[in-house]
Amino acid sequence: MEIAMQIDQISIVWAANAAHYEYLDTVRKRTEETRLEHDLWHRAVEEFREAFEKEDKAFKQYRASDHTSALQKADEERDKLYASLRDTIKAYAKFPIAETAQHAEPLLKVIKNHKITTRENFLMV
């Protein structure tokens, strides 16, 4: 029995890293479970397995970075410094001396325009 089916294109461009990885892992498992006696199939499965192993290695290195804890500490320090700066600018905007308060206004606009929040984590773990 000859199977003549070909998948032209599958697009997972918008998938998140973990979803992309899970998809490829599922495809790898299914292709290895499928038993076809065809040289082209065996070559394709082997090439896919090798490509998956390379991506798997790269993905594991990304997730297990030696720098992750240092980056998390730096994120926390940056957030504390930003929160202090933001609070100081807000306090100066309410300062009773008009000349001092007016200098805080442009900085408040920058803070409002950029909508930076310390609840967001810029580190991808």
Contacts of 77 (CB under 8 A, 6+ apart): none
Same domain, 27 and 43: yes
Same domain, 57 and 74: no
On whether residue 10 sits in a domain, the answer given is: no
On whether residue 28 sits in a domain, the answer given is: yes
Domain span at residue 100? 68-114
pTM: 0.44
Same domain, 26 and 55: yes
For residue 124, pLDDT beyond 50:
no
Same domain, 57 and 89: no
Same domain, 24 and 45: yes
Q: Which two tokens stand for residue 99?
A: 């000349």
1/49 Cα distance (integer angstroms)? 25
On whether residue 2 sits in a domain, the answer given is: no
Same domain, 59 and 25: yes
Same domain, 94 and 58: no
Q: Per-residue confidence at 85, pLDDT binned at 50, 70, 90?
A: very high
What's the structural domain count of the chain?
Answer: 2
Same domain, 74 and 107: yes
**Burial class (CB within 10 angstroms; exposed 0-12, middle 13-18, buried 19+) of 101:** middle
Same domain, 72 and 103: yes
- Helix and strand counts by DSSP (H, E) for the chain: 4, 0
Same domain, 96 and 109: yes
Same domain, 55 and 88: no
- pLDDT, tens digit, for every residue of 30-70? 888 888 888 888 898 899 999 988 888 877 766 656 777 88
